[in-house]
Structure 1
């Protein structure tokens, strides 16, 4: 097995090899963020050069989610066949193709094709990387470093706004296209998920992988209970029917799908895809390019800092606080835009409000809505059903991403910029209600413990096993 890691003789687990594997796997999530918000700097450039109209450019935000919805279930099935590691490596292929097509594009149809491949890459990212991260990390590592996937996505969103602000579309594509190549070169040395290897009955390989990931030679105390948990979970047939008929699976699915819907209907994908356009329309005291960089940079930094408080405060409280905070901030933004558009009240002294409001929104969103749906999706499903549940959850995400940015464009064009803010405000208040009734706490728990809680059972805590 190719690896950078050499196991030590220490009798305690080391976190560093797990962190390294998570960081390298998350390079694919950075590419995801770059591709996801490519439209933020690209749409103003294309419209300004008369290469395309805003209506034509708006379909960039439609095509990617369609391809994501189609391919997410395929990736979910594929990682059970080729493995988690190969699944993560495979994600780099459509991402690289998307950047090559973007660099070569001469007309709108090539851009559309590139966007289709970026959607495939996005599907692969959301399906493969969280599963890999969850299955290689101990609970204490997963609670903090499991959020690196979300951090990487938002870092990519920030980077594309910076790179795109100072380069044309072709140069931006050439720069960003280097990242999938780097990811493949580095990640090929990472170990496979021990969890997946046990599912396939490859116990010796699982022991070797666990040895490398824990950086110790004696892993039997962790391997044996992990083997028992995997055996129990794969003893379930894992059919789609069981995803709904087994109470723990059904509760987990409702929670994950609901959290994804709450995340997307908070307005986050629209703000990410139309960042520069939003500030163009809103006006204000700062240019739209600088405003986009400030907001996306604040989002990336806030997510990074929030990752280290999730394990302290827990998932459920942060989801509630984040949803309510976003609702209140968007309420203020809605009132500002309503006054600006429908009254003669002079709001010139408050030109700073759109930018400050979006900064506050990104900070509060980052503490819960921005990161927790991705983290929890990797924690709550048993091995037998994880791939199918991931396909449904990520297809739901794709449908939401398909709807929200287009809805933002339609509402803004037909009713004014206040209208999408009003809609997202109502949705955030709905998220507070959902989080109160349906989100459970997974802090510091193994997958087996989470499964027992979803079933309504109590079980002695066994920290030796992981998801």
Structure 2
């Protein structure tokens, strides 16, 4: 009989509850929410700052680096964060995250020249590196497979909610007003997350077993967690018994599979164009024309992305990670190809009258968002906390965080270069080709993690038959 079906000797119901795990996830997600307030900040403010010569006197070329600096900062600093989670703990590392956020908002509010904006973007990038190194790990370790399958996507939802919030706020407020509003969120995060528990994984890694039991009691809301603790302790100790050097990321087969899967997921996602569409939303809709204003179009785009991403988390447990990702890639590739053809005809085949098709940019992007939200937008971030063994998790996440920064930096700048030199159709063509090629590669590179504990995922990467236990008589209730 599973642990969740037992009662303790005192007659107290020991089924446990999931709401504490959900509460911890929602509070920790204030960090990615704030990160993406910064990430998407350039979408509503780039045009405003460039056009406001009386206060800022910043050129379009100078402004284009607003999108590049945070990922560069994330790349340069993420490697230093790889050991923080294992030395300080997941919780302290996440709490530290709000410090650079507060500093960055103060710099943005008081900025009068391009260098102060650059400084704020640099500090915001540090927070991005901290977030990706700690939050996915924390969510993966405090949740059971059932909770992680539904609520693990909260991180993605927080990201897109942040993008929508900054788009909406930025449409009605200036730079200074927006900064004063947004500085409240990291302050709220510090105030609430201080009361959340540390990951039981971390306590077990450090031999602090009674604290691990207390963490499990809080997260599961159960009186008797001994069997949960014993199973989790065995899983963590087995994973920690493996060598965990940087070299082992490539030399141990299961680690190598996890790393390659993570690298592929990040590359295929970012080359799908989402970072560009988010930071250049209003710019794209202004250049493409249409019946709606760039501000309204961008709010519709990001709002739809936010809502659909919330729904997308539920579909993963129905169809699985791999199938959802493959279908998402294929459909997004086709939509982006249609967009590319439209922009090419609009710019270079002016003898063809396509005014009656000016609904295509916004409609195409809405269709893109629909299918993106059920795969591309969900799977890569969710699997960050699932793929790696405890022995190399911090190192693996730091590599993927640095890669994410490189991709965002490169692709957002590449969009500016391609659009300036070849036209708006060219980046859409590049993104389309990536999605279509990645559709085939996904079949071979992405492991299925649906319904599995973190230990079962590791056994799956090793090729062990133990991974089928979750479909049999007994399911390990540990994270």
The answer to whether the superposition gives a TM-score over 0.5 is yes
Query: How far is the alpha carbon of 1:132 from its aligned partner?
Result: 0.5
Quote the Cα distance in structure 1 between the aligned partners of 2:237 and 2:431: 44
Would you say 1:40 and 2:52 are equivalent positions? no
Residue of structure 2 equivalent to 1:252 = 258
The answer on 1:379 being equivalent to 2:378 is no
Pairs within 5 Å for 1:369-448: 369-448=376-455
User: Secondary structure of 1:308's partner?
Assistant: helix
1:466 and 2:441 matched:
no
What pairs with 1:339-354 in structure 2 (closer than 5 Å)?
A: 339-343=345-349, 344-354=351-361
Which residue number in structure 2 is paired with residue 5 of structure 1?
none
Aligned length: 460
State the shift of 1:297 in Å. Answer: 0.3
Matched, 1:148 2:148: no
Hey, what's the Cα distance between the residues in 1 that align with 2:268 and 2:102?
30
Give the Cα separation in 2 of the matches to 1:290 and 1:389. Answer: 40
Give 3-state SS (helix, strand or coil) of 1:238's partner.
Answer: coil
1:293-312 residue pairs with structure 2 within 5 A? 293-312=299-318
Deviation at 1:158, TM superposition (A): 0.6
1:97 and 2:103 correspond: yes
- TM-superposed deviation, 1:464: 2.8
**Shift in alpha-carbon separation, 1:135–1:283, aligned structure 2, 3 A:** same
Distance 1:327 1:466 in 2: 38
Deviation at residue 150 of structure 1 after TM alignment? 0.5
The question of 1:76 aligning with 2:92 is answered no
Map 1:141-290 → 2, pairs under 5 A: 141-290=147-296
Q: What is the Cα-based RMSD across aligned positions, in Å?
A: 1.1
SS at match of 2:223: coil
Q: Are 1:357 and 2:368 matched, yes or no?
A: no
Q: Does 1:12 align with 2:15?
A: yes
Q: Deviations over 1:68-91 (max 9, x none)?
A: 011222222111111011111111
CA distance in 2, matches of 1:366, 1:402: 22
The equivalent of 2:5 in structure 1 is none
Maintained 8 Å contact 1:9/1:216: no
Consecutive unaligned residues in structure 1, runs of 5 or more: 1-7
Q: Deviations over 1:121-166 (max 9, x none)?
A: 1111111111101100000000110110010001000110000000
Alpha-carbon distance between aligned partners in 2 of 1:128 and 1:142, rounded to the nearest angstrom: 16
Q: Offset of 1:447 from its aligned partner?
A: 1.2
Classify the secondary structure of the residue corresponding to 2:290. Answer: coil
The whole-number CA distance in structure 2 between the counterparts of 1:365 and 1:434 is 17
Write the distance in 2 (CA, Å) between the matches of 1:452 and 1:216: 28
Q: Distance in 2 between matches of 1:407 and 1:119?
A: 19
Q: Does structure 2 conserve the Cα–Cα contact (< 8 Å) formed by 1:34 and 1:157?
A: yes
Partner of 2:451, secondary structure, is coil
Q: TM-score, normalised by structure 1?
A: 0.97
Which residue is equivalent to 1:291?
Answer: 297
Deviates more, 1:151-160 or 1:42-51: 42-51
Per-residue CA shift, 1:16-46, capped at 9, x if unaligned? 0000000000011110110110000110101
Q: Which residue of 1 aligns with 2:456?
A: 449
Contact 1:73 1:390 in 2 (8 A): no
**Given that residues 13 and 216 in structure 1 are in contact (C-alpha distance below 8 angstroms), is that contact kept between their aligned partners in structure 2?**
yes
Deviation beyond 2 Å, 4+ runs, structure 1: 460-467
Per the alignment, in what secondary structure is the counterpart of residue 314 of structure 2? coil
Ranges in structure 2 where 5+ consecutive residues have no aligned partner: 1-10
Deviations 1:307-359 (A, max 9, x none): 11111111000000110011010011011111111111111111111001111
Q: Deviations over 1:235-256 (max 9, x none)?
A: 1120011111110000000001
| Equivalent-residue separation in structure 1 for 2:16 and 2:447 (angstroms) | 28
Deviations 1:90-116 (A, max 9, x none): 111111111110001010000000000
Deviation at 1:10, TM superposition (A): 2.5
**Contact 1:197 1:203 survives alignment (8 Å):** yes
TM-score scaled to structure 2, two decimals?
Answer: 0.95
